[in-house]
Structure 1
Amino acid sequence: MSGPKQRTAEETGIKERRKTATPPLYKVFLLNDDYTTMDFVVQVLEQVFHKNPVEATQIMLYVHKKGRGLAGVYERQIAEAKIVAVHKHAEDNGFPLKCDMEKE
């Protein structure tokens, strides 16, 4: 005697759900240096990372004290674009401000 017949998804009317993989996220960090002004770092955080003035100031102070601070978490292409934007904006304004990123 055999067990109950296995029914296909078409027979039962049940649709299969497929899990879509979420892309990995990357943390973007600002790095402290001895030349970039605090005001410029705040400006970068507001313009590139869309932080409000209070949050931008808090992050800037953290970077100043600890040497490195989290600016945001993004998908890889967005993180890379933010880093390019920061480096270009800094270079255009005569500052050596740098960023790096790491996988979350």
Structure 2
Amino acid sequence: MTSTDSKTQPKISHDTSEDHPPMYKVLLHNDDYTTMDFVVEILVRVFGKSLEKATQIMLNIHNKGKAVCGIYPREIAETKVQTVHNLASSKGFPLKSTMEKE
């Protein structure tokens, strides 16, 4: 490659803040009242997980206290958290969902 070739190469930006919005992790937290079946149902319905993946995540929540369910732009993450709270509340469960910047 000659020195003129490097001048014609496109410049690659490594600053992702301009290219993509900040992403947020949506987490579910363990509690002593929400059933494991309901958590799996939430993971399938709200987060689009397969039954197998939802079961794995539910076990992580149960054993570790919380687990990441997905990573989304802020508005979508906020909607997921609110949807979880609405569905849990409608069934009488105190399931807690939070989001944190990735």
With the shorter chain as reference, the TM-score category is 0.7 to 0.9
TM-score w.r.t. the length of structure 2 is 0.82
Distance 2:61 2:19 in 1: 33
Q: Which runs of 4+ in 1 moved over 4 A?
A: none
Q: Residue 28 of structure 1 aligns with which residue?
A: 26
Post-superposition shift, 1:66? 0.2
AA aligned opposite 2:89 = E
Q: Residue 98 of structure 2 aligns with which residue?
A: 100
State the SS of the aligned residue for 1:94.
coil
Tell me the alpha carbon deviations over residues 25-72 of structure 1, each in whole angstroms, 9 at most, x when there is no partner. 000000000000000000000000000000000000000000000100
Identical positions, percent = 57
Distance 2:67 2:20 in 1: 25
**Match runs of 1:1-104 below 5 Å:** 20-104=18-102
Distance 1:54 1:39 in 2: 12
Post-superposition shift, 1:21? 2.9
Identify unmatched segments of 5+ residues in structure 1.
Answer: 1-18
More helix by share: 2
Distance 2:60 2:95 in 1: 15
Identify unmatched segments of 5+ residues in structure 2.
Answer: 1-14
AA aligned opposite 2:83 = A
Q: Whose Rg is larger?
A: 1
